[in-house]
Structure 1
Amino acid sequence: MPNAAARTESVGTVVVAGAANLAIAAAKLVAGLLSGSAAMLSEAAHSVADTTTEVLLYMALRRGARPADLRHPFGYGKESYVWALLAALFTFVGGAGFAITHGVTTVLVHEHRGDYLASYVVLAVSFGIESVSLARAVRQVRRQSYRWRTTPRRFLRLTADTTVKAVFLEDSAALVGLLLAALGVGLSELTGDELYDGIASILIGLLLLIVATILAHSNVSLLVGRAVPARMRHEIEHDLAGLPTVHRIDTLLTMQLGPDDILVAAKVDFHDDATGADIEAVADEAERRLTGRYPEIRYVFLDPTRSLPGASGHARHTPHPDQPPPTP
């Protein structure tokens, strides 16, 4: 899938999720006020946090897609991770903080006023709407994982498109939160004890806390400058090592500049008889091969270097976070 099409699909996924969360947040708030349920009010806060998150993720997609200019020669891809990080922090503070605090208060006070019926109706409708939003995110994850020739689980762990990851995790958490809220409200009605409603609210808050932590960690890693996944790195190294007049790849460095932008830099030891024209031709061929295999690769820099003393014809590997270091 071309980068533009993938970005458009991500925007569509975020917009659908945002619209769904906005409608659900209003319904949950009304149901929470009518029923007095802590779990329902926590779910309302959950949906408000998700709606705000979708707005921030939309900003991430739009701001990060701006073209490079003189002040930012590598583009604005990393800005998308700033907005995505803010979205994760809002989920942490706005959603998890409110849910846990309100749940603790309910456990201590044990008060409930209102009708439970409104909560059940809203929970059922919300589950259906959230399922539609999650289904769209799942379809995108499957398409993208197939394109990258990996499993959906591995794709979600390693993808640089944190907007898709955020929508998938938030919609999944929303469905789990709805089940927790239904369980808490149901047990409170059956037993007449609001303890279960409060516990459900606390569990919803902890669930949001886990999601926010995962997303924050992922975005911080990308902001710092994360390398491409190990398998992709090995394929890049193999392509470069197979170029004419290349003796060995001394050092290979990669970096995710944004969801659709990758930088590749390598110190290359050419054969001693390689001319300047040969090196120029190899540099052009390297860019053609790599961008042909991975359209996300935008920048390829080759630095001709001398062989290290005693070096063989094999590439010298640099440590990568997705693989263990070589044994001595």
Structure 2
Amino acid sequence: MSGTSTNTNGASGSSQADRRTRVTVLVALTANLVIAAAKAVGGLFAGSPALLSEAAHSVADSLNEVFLLAALRRSRRPADRRHPFGYGKERFFWSLLAAVVIFVMGGCFSFFQGVEALRNGAEEKFSGYVAGLIVLGVAFLAEGISLVRALHQVHRQGGASEGARDPALRTVVAEDGTAVLGVTLAMIGMALHMITGQVVWEASASLGIGALLVYVAYRLGREAMGQLIGEAADPEASGRIRELLEAQPEIDSVEALFTMKMGLDSDLVAARIDLMPGLDSEHVEEVAVRIKRSIARAVPEAGEIFLDVTDRHANEAQESPAATGERGGA
């Protein structure tokens, strides 16, 4: 039995994608910082629970962008003795942390504002309504621009299926999409409060924003958790690897195939294969090297490839009664 490995990567393509993602995150961070300050000032001036909820939402998003920038830098560190497979999974860790921040800072604060408004009421002046709606209108425009930028990058990276592989980009899209919906809810709640004089509309908007943020945090956290605990590679990639192995003339059978995501564009591949009978050790090594190179070409994200090569027929012959002298005498 022998185990072999190889290491390949598309560093140039990955670094270009990272640069584009970094620009997208910086655009979102700039927008959220400006919007958070405007919402906080407008919310305090107007006494609007919905606007204060949106301010907390933007603060949470701003902190998340800082986490994502850290993820982009730290996840590309080279492998070392303590982390022989590299630091690619840090990308998933920071995405999980961002989900926690969305839940705690955004969702919980929005629920608090909504409940407080229902319990104690909220008095607003007409000028406060106008200022709040203007702030929300500007926020809607800024968040929309950031969302369009993120969606454009998703399209450039191969559409929804490929772009969604990047947890940083996925988080920005989720944040901006949620922000657009949250601002819309806040505008509707504030407008109805202004028209009817009933604070229940703004309180309901705050509760709706909180529910929206909790749902998004749950989805992002669940995806990050799956990747952190050892999620398998994409089914399409696994299928290509199995087809390639089964097409090799020297392979009798593929006993097992295991894959695991080690980072954004790096998968670990481990296969247990049985060879055809009659191959000498030198030929076995040549076959293993050729198979690894074929997998690396067919599946560029296969960064680590391990083959457990066995000759089942030789093992069966060694264990047979004839080979071990256990056959009964005549």
Q: Tell me if TM exceeds 0.5.
A: yes
* 1:269–1:190 Cα change, 3 Å: same
CA–CA distance in structure 1, aligned partners of residues 291 and 123 of structure 2: 68
| Letter in structure 1 aligned against 2:246 | A
Question: Which residue type is aligned with residue 236 of structure 1?
Answer: I
Stretches (4+) displaced over 4 A: none
- Once the two structures are superposed, residues 43-76 of structure 1 have per-residue CA deviations (whole angstroms, 9 ceiling, x without a partner) of 0000000000110111111111110011110001
Matched with 1:166 is 171
1:292-311 to 2 correspondence within 5 Å? 292-307=297-312
- Report what 1:221 is aligned to: 226
Tell me whether 1:118 sits opposite 2:134 in the alignment: no
Rounded Cα–Cα distance in structure 1 between residues aligned with 2:181 and 2:136? 11
Shift of 1:272: 1.0
Q: Which residue number in structure 1 is paired with residue 152 of structure 2?
A: 139
Helix, strand or coil at the partner of 2:304: strand
Distance 1:139 1:294 in 2: 25
Q: Quote the Cα distance in structure 1 between the aligned partners of 2:55 and 2:179.
A: 11
Q: Pairwise mapping of residues 70-219 of structure 1 onto structure 2 (< 5 A)?
A: 70-114=81-125, 115-146=128-159, 152=160, 154-155=161-162, 159-219=164-224
| Offset at residue 284 of structure 1 (A) | 2.3
Of the three residues 5, 8, 20, the one matched with 2:31 is 20
Question: Match for 1:79: what amino acid?
Answer: E
**Amino acid across the alignment from 2:202:** D
The alpha carbon displacement at 1:257 in A equals 0.7
Between the aligned partners of 1:66 and 1:8, the Cα distance in structure 2 is 15
Q: SS of the counterpart of 2:78?
A: coil
Amino acid at match of 1:48: V
Q: Does 1:262 align with 2:267?
A: yes
Of the three residues 232, 241, 249, the one matched with 1:236 is 241
Question: In the aligned structure 1, how far is the partner of 2:256 from the partner of 2:100?
Answer: 37
Residues 250-284 of structure 1 deviation map (CA, whole Å, 9 limit, x = unaligned):
10000001112110000011111223233222322
* Shift, 1:289, TM fit: 2.3
SS at structure 1 position matched to 2:158: helix
The CA distance in 2 between the partners of 1:84 and 1:198, in whole Å, is 30
1:2 aligned counterpart, secondary structure: helix
Question: How many aligned residue pairs are there?
Answer: 300
Superposition deviation, residue 143 in structure 1: 2.6
Amino acid at match of 1:127: F
In structure 1, distance between residues paired with 2:133 and 2:279: 75
Residue 304 of structure 1: CA displacement? 0.8
Q: Does 1:2 align with 2:13?
A: yes
Structure number, greater radius of gyration = 2
Which residue is 1:318 aligned to? none
Residue 80 of structure 1: how far off its partner (Å): 2.0
CA distance in 2, matches of 1:19, 1:276: 60
TM-score normalized by structure 1? 0.87
Residue identity in the other structure for 2:116: T
Cα drift, residue 293 of structure 1: 2.9
Distance 1:19 1:188 in 2: 30
**Relative to 1, partners in 2 of residues 1:183 and 1:246: Cα closer, same or farther, differing over 3 Å?**
same
CA distance in 2, matches of 1:12, 1:290: 33
How far apart in 1 are the matches of 2:186 and 2:162?
A: 30
Contact 2:273 2:308 in 1 (8 A): yes
Query: Which residue is 1:317 aligned to?
Result: none
Gaps of 5+ in 1: 147-151, 309-328
Match of 2:294 among 289, 293, 296: 289
Partner of 1:59: 70
Residue in 2 that maps onto 1:312 = none
CA displacement 1:104-133 (0-9 Å, x = unmatched): 110121222341111111111111111111
Task: Indicate how the Cα distance of structure 1 residues 254 and 178 shifts in structure 2: closer, same or farther if over 3 A, else same.
Answer: same
Q: Which runs of 5+ in 2 are unaligned?
A: 1-11, 314-330
Give secondary structure in 2 for the equivalent of 1:116: helix
Give me the whole-angstrom Cα distance separating, in 2, the residues matched to 1:215 and 1:303. Answer: 36
Residue 285 of structure 2: aligned partner: 280
Matched letter for residue 10 of structure 1: T
Higher RCO, Cα 8 Å, sep 6+: 2
Sort the Cα spacing of 1:42 and 1:10 in 2 relative to 1 into closer, same or farther, 3 A: same
Q: How high is the sequence identity, in percent, across the aligned residues?
A: 41
On the 8 A contact 1:244/1:282 being kept in 2, the answer is no
